[in-house]
């Protein structure tokens, strides 16, 4: 079947969701993560020993062998065997490719991020919901039904080594060491004012702990683009000279409820004009196409989420190592 292509203009706060079925229930995934939709061919499937039950095996896709995930099992449902024409949704995130085995695909919906309802975290109090809670981000209400949005990043991190957020010790990079400092790198980092914008509580906590441990003591953290933009507007109202004083750099996710990272970046860059306020896009969606979208809204850098070590290097480069920043 034909490959998908996003036609949305960058920074409009819209997203396209592919709706598919798992045991009769509608689920969805960001179209930007979908590379292709294929008819399932059992002859292309190679079963593997000693793998989790959710991994059906591997399939050949574009001359590469990629894992195939039984998406129904992954969200805690008991798959039936009477699927008339099962499909495989090929996805890419964080530079990783895999297939999702589904019973059918309905259509693509264009929605605004304001329509997205995050998962009620009260489910976490009941351990019977744990597996589904960790596999679903939230829902959107479309055509009188709720579509649950699959958290493919969490699924991948649980099943495959190397896809979880890096557990690293952030130290001075080689470039940092080549910069002439009259004080230590930790003291310079303590002077940098950072804003972190991330909707995942787990990732927010992880990023905050690592960056604070590295010396970035001045952090403001927000759970979506709308709240971050409101905080920046308050900074500007209180102090016209806020750029480079109240805030030196922003790190933002792209997929977020209420306002996405591309829309946030575009709005912030319009606010600051020619003043220097770098923005790093930190997302599982980063590929060549998304890099162009990040660039089009004024982003200064973009990296995939597991690379938190690289994130720290970029922050140093765009703040401590920049001639446009006076600390």
Tokens at residue 301, please? Answer: 């850098």
Domain closes at, from 125, 159, 193: 159
Instruction: Based on the fold, state whether residues 108 and 198 are members of the same structural domain.
Output: no
Please indicate, yes or no, whether residues 146 and 187 belong to a single structural domain of this protein. Answer: no
Res. 177: pLDDT tops 90 = no
| pLDDT for residue 130 | 47
**149 plus 228 within the same structural domain:** no
Residue 214's Cβ-side half-sphere holds a number of Cα atoms within 13 Å equal to: 25
**For residue 311, is it within any domain?**
yes
Q: What is the pTM of this model?
A: 0.80
Same domain for 134 and 29?
yes
Q: Is residue 258 part of a domain?
A: yes
What's the confidence (pLDDT) of residue 270?
A: 96
pLDDT averaged over every residue in the chain = 85
Rg of the chain over Cα atoms, rounded to whole angstroms, equals 21
Residue 103 resides in a domain? yes
Using the Cα atoms of residue 30, residue 33, residue 37 and residue 42 in order, give the sign of their dihedral. negative
CATH number of the domain residue 274 falls in: 3.40.50.2300
For residue 209, pLDDT over 60 is answered with: yes
Same-domain status, 285 and 311: yes
Q: Tens digits of per-residue pLDDT, 17-74?
A: 999 999 889 999 999 999 999 999 988 899 988 888 899 999 988 888 999 999 999 8
Pairing outcome for strands 279-282 and 301-303? parallel
Q: Which residues contact 285 (CB under 8 A, 6 or more apart)?
A: 30, 32, 33, 93, 254, 255
181-199: average pLDDT? 86
Instruction: Read off the pLDDT band of 127 (50, 70, 90).
Output: very low
Buried residues in 51-79 as b, exposed as e (16+ CB within 10 A): eeebbbbbbebeeeebbbbbbbbbbebee
What's the domain range around 121? 14-159
Confidence band (pLDDT; 50, 70, 90) for 255? very high
Q: Is 168 part of a structural domain of the chain?
A: no
Secondary element (H or E) of residue 230: helix 225-238
Establish if 6 belongs to a structural domain. no
Whether residue 142 is contained in a domain is answered as: yes
Domain end, chosen from 124, 159, 194, is at: 159
108 located within any domain? yes
| Of 317 and 184, more confident | 317
Q: How far apart are CA 208 and CA 325, in angstroms?
A: 22
Cβ-Cβ contacts under 8 Å for 46 (sequence gap 6 or more): 57, 58, 59, 65
- In this prediction, residue 202 has a pLDDT band, given cuts at 50, 70 and 90, of confident
Same domain assignment for residues 180 and 99? no
**Count of the separate structural domains present in the chain:** 2
The verdict on 143 and 218 lying in the same domain is no
Do 150 and 20 belong to one domain? Answer: yes
Whichever domain contains 90, its CATH number is 2.40.50.180
Largest CA distance in the chain: 70
**How does pLDDT run across 132-156, given as a tens digit for each residue?**
446 888 899 998 899 999 888 888 8
Cα 302–Cα 305–Cα 307 angle in degrees, nearest 5: 85
Are residues 211 and 135 located together in one domain of the fold?
A: no
């Amino acid at each position: 079947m034909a490959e998908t292509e996003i036609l949305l203009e960058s920074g409009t706060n819209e997203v396209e969701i592919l709706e598919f079925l798992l045991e009769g229930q509608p689920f969805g995934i960001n179209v930007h993560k979908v590379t292709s939709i294929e008819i399932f061919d059992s002859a292309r499937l190679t079963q593997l020993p000693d793998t989790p039950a959710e991994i059906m095996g591997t399939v050949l896709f574009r001359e590469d062998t990629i894992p195939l995930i039984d998406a129904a099992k992954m969200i805690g449902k008991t798959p039936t065997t009477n699927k008339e024409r099962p499909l495989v949704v090929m996805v890419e995130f964080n530079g990783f490719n895999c297939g999702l085995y589904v019973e059918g695909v309905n259509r693509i919906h264009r929605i605004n991020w304001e329509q997205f309802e995050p998962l009620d975290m009260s489910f976490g109090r009941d351990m019977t919901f744990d597996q589904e809670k960790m596999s679903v981000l939230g829902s959107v209400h479309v055509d009188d039904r709720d579509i649950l949005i699959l958290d493919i990043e969490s699924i991948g991190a649980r099943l495959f080594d190397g896809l979880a957020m890096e557990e690293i010790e952030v130290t001075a990079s080689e470039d940092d060491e080549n910069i002439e400092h009259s004080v230590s790198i930790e003291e310079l980092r303590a002077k940098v004012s950072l804003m972190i914008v991330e909707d995942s509580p787990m990732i927010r906590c992880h990023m905050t702990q690592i960056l604070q441990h590295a010396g970035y003591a001045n952090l403001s953290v927000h759970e979506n683009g709308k709240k971050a933009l409101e905080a920046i507007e308050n900074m500007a109202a209180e102090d016209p000279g806020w750029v480079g004083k109240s805030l030196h750099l922003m790190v933002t996710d792209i997929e977020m409820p209420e306002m996405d990272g591309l829309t946030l970046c575009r709005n912030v860059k319009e606010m600051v004009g020619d003043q220097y306020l770098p923005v790093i896009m930190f997302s599982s969606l980063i590929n060549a196409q998304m890099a162009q979208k990040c660039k089009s809204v004024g982003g200064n850098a973009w990296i995939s989420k597991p690379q938190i070590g690289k994130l720290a290097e970029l922050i140093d480069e765009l703040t401590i190592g920049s001639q446009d920043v006076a600390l």
